[in-house]
Structure 1
Amino acid sequence: MVKWVGELPVANLGETSRRVFKALIDLNREPIPSSTRIRNAELFRQPIDFIAHNLRKYYFDVPLPLSPRNRKIATLTRELYSELATPYKIYLEEADEQRNPRQDKGLIISLHRALSYLGRALYHCALVYDPYPRHVWSEIHSIYGLAEKLRLLDVQVRDAGEGGGSSSVHEVYKQLLLFGASSPYRLRQREIERVFKESAEWQNLTHLAPPPAEEPDNSLFMVHLASDTPPSHISLEISVPDEQCRIFSTRELISHLESEVQGPGIESKGQEKRVILRSDAQGLLERLIQGYGIAPKRRSRRRRYSSEIAVTVGLAAIHEMIHHHFEPAPQEEEMSHFEDDSTVWLEEYQRIGNPGFRDAVNHLKDIKFSLNPNQGYITDEAIIETRNGFGEMGHAPSWASNGAKTEPAEPHTLRTVNESAGGYCIGWEGSKPPQIKVGELIAVQNPGAGRTFSIGVGRWIRNTPAEGLQIGLELIAPSCQAVHLRYAEPLRELERQHAALLLPIGLSQKLVAGLLVVPALPFKLHDHLWLEQAHGRQKIELTKVRESTGAFSLFEFKKSHDLHNTGASEEQTDEANFDTIWDML
């Protein structure tokens, strides 16, 4: 087996994936001694990590819906980790109960590995917003329960594949509970990745104990070891806790995250682990604080209602739609740029393992892969372009600014699944639905009101085989106005203008001049800007961040006529600036 692994054609990732996948399935179904099984399983760990790292570019940081090929590649990655957990689960089932557990190294390793790789399967489900596989949470809870029974929760296991560190079953289990409690289906892909990685450190600030070890508060979650569900907030529990329940407390973690939001974190010294996020994740931190401390509740009643709505996705597209005259035109059928007509799928793979992904390996067979994850592919230019939207060093990402001139967008007609006073659940289906990510700005054309739009945000994504891709839309404004922004500083006034949306404010917000939806970059708090409208412009200051996602930021602003206190000289400078009269002429 060692020789076989060493001879894998890693330069051809499609062939390597096929061989590893088939060999792993054969290993899991071959009647061999348990000790031999896990020794062989250990040899698969590095190749599978290598395959997963190189395949992630096809489904990570890519707008949804995925092309059929990319979706199968994502499914293959998830199933590789599920299959890798199987030999360790078999060892646990066949373990000698008469043997001292602490002397059985295979048992200790199998508990840790099975839990870790089932967690990887959960993570890859969340990355593409697929539902958790059936029985996975049940198996995770059962493995923890077995380790607790055998008193092996705190035994450290070295993991050479993760930087040579070590962790225990207790720590891995709390990491998975923390990830499940974060509501990953409400996060963007990069946020899901960040939370999963940071949870390995954050779990040190959580506590797990039998009930009623903690006084009831908003930082508690209930874990049912006999269930197939992730932890649920304590306020949602209606049953009386029993011996199969555990209380999961995030109180200490919430306090830590609150301190991170209020000021920069301080790296711990000595042997304490570093538990810190960069300042650019403040919006994520605030959502996690709320998610770990407050049970999500629906503000208004939802009712099933199917109707057609016209939507436009993205700040740039919405701005174009409102700012320019638009006449609806019938949508033409276009070929998806994710598909490659020259790709001919091979014969169906033999029916082994899960038939839902049996041909995923064949779909990779003729794809040219590289050990260099940054190397592009001639046939996949569209995927490469959307995978990583960052430009040159020091410049804003392409998705965060509006520098490129875009064609006036056309609204897409979709159907609602249900609706409430606060928004919609939208079925994201059709011949070519618009690409979407969690946290994206969405405009819904108001029926019978011309080119007026309600503005909303995509709060969650769900992708199920029976119902397809669905988006949860929360409405944040009944209307909006397309405007432009320029920096007010003298040295930056000649920079290009940025598209923005002006939202109405409530009557109770007397101290707020208005609300602005702006690109995620480059604007920040206390920036001084020119707000340019059709009737003129005014100087403003961004005073408060209402919300920030990877797609946009929502700021409060106030007027700042006397910002620089320049008197007549400023008026003369403004009088000589002709930028405000071109539209009038």
Structure 2
Amino acid sequence: MFKAARSHNSDLSHGSLAPLAIPSGIARRSRPYIKARQLQLWATELPIGNTSVSAHQMLEKLKSINACRYSYKDRLQLHNTLRPVFDELLLAIRQPLRQANIPLDQQQLYRAALLQELLEQMALGYKLIVSELSSLAKLKEFDNFLLTESIYMAILYLSQRLIDTYGLYAPEPPHVWSDLNRLYSFAEARNLHIQAVDDPYPNTPLPVKLTVNFAYKRILLLSLAEPYHLMQYEADDVYRLITSSVESCQLEPFTTIVTSGEYVIDLDADCGPKFIIDEKNLQVNLPRLIDITEVKLHLNIHLQRLLSSSLSNAEFDAVSLVERQQRDMLLRLADAWNASLVRKTERFALAAQMEVTSGLNAAHHYVSEQRKFTPEMDELRLVSNFDDQQLNDKTDTVLASAHRDALQKDLRHENHNYQLNPWSQRDVSPIGISLNTEQAGHNIDVRVGELVTYRMAEKNNQRWQIGVVRWLKHEFKENTEGKVNVGIMNIANVAIPTGTKAIKGLGSGTDYFRSLLIPKQISINQTRSLIVPALLYDVGTVIAVNMKQKIFYAKLTRMLISTRSFTQFDFEVIPRPIELSF
């Protein structure tokens, strides 16, 4: 059981620490005889190579320390002693989860739960120190330093709990935001939030001033990035990336003048920041306005430089894969901070059974009514003006050699068994639908940013729609993989299967890839675009678009959507490139 998490505004605003989430019965046993040097030796001898054994030994040690009575000085020294090995162990546990399929299997669920429990126990130790020091009538100057350090460390490990939760699309753990908000409010009231902390193991390489203010605002900015809309474990990357932006984020006292389109955090609530859509329905007890105007300005300037650099670069191959991945991640971050991802449309409950498949290749397969993908033979037939029988009759000629090469290349596109999965539709909106499933983890593989093709599971229904997984939440359940909820943003109601091949620019020299042409539809405000494999082409690339009965040429002009699964481009049709010869 946790202590009461409710507090009075007077406590929070006048420097008293509201109750933190500390289990009853903690820190009451008589302390064992253990010194920091002994603990350090014990930690260095942990078999880190055997992650499971080391993690359980570390967890039991933390539980033992937290259960016993220690002075705040001894407790702080013991926890700080464990930090280097503890952080190394976290990396080892976390690594296999970064690319795990959602929903997690039983072994992965166990690993994720172990990770959360370790972080919970480490944060608990620092919260115990804060709780004890806050109860003292008067603190010496050195004790104030210890108090500031303990608040900072507690916020750090509580933040990490959220980061790992977001990385796996799990629900936010209860009481974490409550503790974060109350720790910050307490530090702010005592003017400790701007005091520098000497952290020997900072989790950022940048030379920033480490403070309670920095640690708290950093997790606020990550929360504003709509982490359930990020790619898997991209929250960890964004958390590191926003380090330089924290200083530009401002927390301002609440006034009666609040308008729609602002972010607010309630320091007396167990939840993160919220975007105000309707100020009339705003209910907060101890609010702070979060001003990220400067943060967005700096990000937009940086993005404009990156995009201008790409456009001015005649040789697109000079833009590395890593640079393009980071640029695309920054574009997604800009969408989030500009509130582009905040729901502004109403949902309507509408239950239905759906058939869903994921991936661009699968989308092409079903949209083409499962026809074979033979772009090389189609191109050869169009260029030569011969049909398949005439091409087969040509022997010992250049054309016959080209025919054999085309057949060989097309063999690589032989249809695979693209699986259709049953999902349940919960509701719809003008821009998409939400689905859920309780199917076992090995039967589905869904990720944020994945291209999906879906339709109503009705007899003779041939109309496939194209969408992208916009958000994902994974509800863990004991002894089961749990339920997966996804939000799908509709991209197109109609798509034409095509093949694309780069002629000039990034991606040139490669063969045909499955792609989708999205036709213009004025009635639903759908503009013409191309959906192609992720990171294969870039703005400025000239491509051949093979529609089986026709080939046209296009220049990619603007990136509309970019994920790890696909990229959607606006384009302009151009004449056949002069340098092109078959």
Question: Where on the TM-score scale, by shorter chain, does this alignment land: which range?
Answer: 0.7 to 0.9
Q: What is the match of residue 248 of structure 2?
A: 205
Q: What is the match of residue 85 of structure 1?
A: 123
Q: What is the match of residue 13 of structure 2?
A: none
Asked if structure 1 preserves the Cα contact closer than 8 Å seen for 2:224 and 2:273, the reply is yes
2:488 to 473, 481, 493: 473
Shift of 1:236: 4.2
Shift of 1:256: 0.9
Distance across 2 between alignment mates of 1:226 and 1:451: 52
1:485 to 493, 497, 500: 500
Q: What is the match of residue 222 of structure 1?
A: 264
Give the secondary structure class of the aligned counterpart of 2:499: strand
- Return closer, same or farther for 1:214/1:200 CA change in 2, 3 Å cut-off: farther
Shift of 1:248: 1.1
**Correspondence 1:381-460 to 2 at 5 A:** 407-431=416-440, 432-445=442-455, 447-448=458-459, 451-460=462-471
Q: What is the match of residue 122 of structure 1?
A: 162
Superposed CA deviations along residues 301-342 of structure 1, whole A, max 9, x for unmatched, are 323333211111001222233346379xxxxxxxxxxxxxxx
Q: Is residue 2:529 matched to residue 1:507?
A: no
Shift of 1:510: 11
Shift of 1:73: 0.5
Q: What is the match of residue 161 of structure 1?
A: 201
2:179 to 139, 164, 181: 139
Give the secondary structure class of the aligned counterpart of 2:532: strand
Q: Is residue 2:120 matched to residue 1:109?
A: no
Shift of 1:116: 0.7
Aligned CA-pair RMSD: 3.1
Asked if structure 1 preserves the Cα contact closer than 8 Å seen for 2:552 and 2:576, the reply is no
User: TM-score scaled to structure 2, two decimals?
Assistant: 0.76
**Correspondence 1:313-392 to 2 at 5 A:** 313-323=358-368, 325=370
Q: What is the match of residue 404 of structure 2?
A: none
Shift of 1:115: 0.9
Distance across 1 between alignment mates of 2:75 and 2:247: 33
Asked if structure 2 preserves the Cα contact closer than 8 Å seen for 1:206 and 1:248, the reply is yes
Q: Is residue 2:288 matched to residue 1:246?
A: yes
Q: Is residue 2:475 matched to residue 1:464?
A: yes
Q: What is the match of residue 28 of structure 2?
A: none
- Return closer, same or farther for 1:433/1:417 CA change in 2, 3 Å cut-off: farther
Residue 552 of structure 1 aligns with an amino acid whose one-letter code is F
1:291 to 321, 331, 336: 336
User: TM-score scaled to structure 1, two decimals?
Assistant: 0.76
Q: Is residue 2:573 matched to residue 1:556?
A: no
- Return closer, same or farther for 1:525/1:511 CA change in 2, 3 Å cut-off: farther
1:98 to 128, 137, 140: 137
1:498 to 513, 523, 528: 513
1:538 to 549, 552, 556: 552
Work out which of the two has the higher radius of gyration on C-alpha atoms and give 1 or 2: 2
Give the secondary structure class of the aligned counterpart of 2:433: strand
Superposed CA deviations along residues 508-536 of structure 1, whole A, max 9, x for unmatched, are 89997x31100012111121111111212
Residue 260 of structure 1 aligns with an amino acid whose one-letter code is H
Residue 471 of structure 1 aligns with an amino acid whose one-letter code is V
Q: What is the match of residue 15 of structure 1?
A: 53
Shift of 1:489: 4.4
- Return closer, same or farther for 1:154/1:22 CA change in 2, 3 Å cut-off: same
Superposed CA deviations along residues 230-273 of structure 1, whole A, max 9, x for unmatched, are 1112334436787722111000011111112211399xxxxxxx
Asked if structure 1 preserves the Cα contact closer than 8 Å seen for 2:348 and 2:428, the reply is yes
Which structure exhibits the higher relative contact order, with contacts defined as CA atoms closer than 8 Å and separated by 6 or more residues?
1
Distance across 1 between alignment mates of 2:82 and 2:160: 15
**Correspondence 1:514-525 to 2 at 5 A:** 514-525=528-539
Shift of 1:406: 5.7
Q: Give the gaps of 5 or more residues in structure 1.
A: 267-276, 328-401, 578-585
Give the secondary structure class of the aligned counterpart of 2:554: strand
Give the secondary structure class of the aligned counterpart of 2:443: coil
Q: Give the gaps of 5 or more residues in structure 2.
A: 1-38, 309-321, 373-410
Give the secondary structure class of the aligned counterpart of 1:64: coil
Give the secondary structure class of the aligned counterpart of 2:164: helix
Residue 116 of structure 1 aligns with an amino acid whose one-letter code is L
Q: What is the match of residue 392 of structure 1?
A: none
Shift of 1:130: 0.9
Distance across 2 between alignment mates of 1:507 and 1:525: 25
Q: Is residue 2:113 matched to residue 1:56?
A: no
Distance across 1 between alignment mates of 2:507 and 2:174: 56
Which is further off, 519-528 or 295-304?
A: 295-304
Residue 575 of structure 2 aligns with an amino acid whose one-letter code is H
Asked if structure 2 preserves the Cα contact closer than 8 Å seen for 1:235 and 1:295, the reply is no
Asked if structure 1 preserves the Cα contact closer than 8 Å seen for 2:324 and 2:535, the reply is no
Shift of 1:74: 1.4
- Return closer, same or farther for 1:538/1:101 CA change in 2, 3 Å cut-off: farther
Q: Is residue 2:281 matched to residue 1:231?
A: no
Asked if structure 2 preserves the Cα contact closer than 8 Å seen for 1:264 and 1:279, the reply is no
Superposed CA deviations along residues 150-199 of structure 1, whole A, max 9, x for unmatched, are 21111111222226865000111111111111110011124312211123
More helix by share: 2
Distance across 2 between alignment mates of 1:133 and 1:501: 40
Superposed CA deviations along residues 407-453 of structure 1, whole A, max 9, x for unmatched, are 13131122222233432211132244320110100001354555441
- Return closer, same or farther for 1:169/1:491 CA change in 2, 3 Å cut-off: closer
Asked if structure 2 preserves the Cα contact closer than 8 Å seen for 1:546 and 1:556, the reply is yes
Q: What is the match of residue 332 of structure 1?
A: none
Distance across 2 between alignment mates of 1:144 and 1:299: 31
- Return closer, same or farther for 1:108/1:437 CA change in 2, 3 Å cut-off: same
Asked if structure 1 preserves the Cα contact closer than 8 Å seen for 2:267 and 2:285, the reply is no
Which is further off, 95-104 or 536-545?
A: 95-104
Asked if structure 1 preserves the Cα contact closer than 8 Å seen for 2:518 and 2:531, the reply is yes
Give the secondary structure class of the aligned counterpart of 1:175: helix
Shift of 1:540: 1.5
Distance across 2 between alignment mates of 1:117 and 1:23: 17
Distance across 1 between alignment mates of 2:505 and 2:286: 66
Shift of 1:16: 1.1
Residue 155 of structure 1 aligns with an amino acid whose one-letter code is Q
Asked if structure 1 preserves the Cα contact closer than 8 Å seen for 2:502 and 2:510, the reply is yes
Residue 257 of structure 1 aligns with an amino acid whose one-letter code is L
Asked if structure 1 preserves the Cα contact closer than 8 Å seen for 2:268 and 2:285, the reply is no
Q: Is residue 2:527 matched to residue 1:527?
A: no
Asked if structure 2 preserves the Cα contact closer than 8 Å seen for 1:424 and 1:474, the reply is yes
- Return closer, same or farther for 1:134/1:468 CA change in 2, 3 Å cut-off: same
Distance across 2 between alignment mates of 1:483 and 1:531: 7
Q: What is the match of residue 273 of structure 1?
A: none
Asked if structure 2 preserves the Cα contact closer than 8 Å seen for 1:455 and 1:476, the reply is yes
Asked if structure 2 preserves the Cα contact closer than 8 Å seen for 1:236 and 1:295, the reply is no
Distance across 2 between alignment mates of 1:299 and 1:137: 25
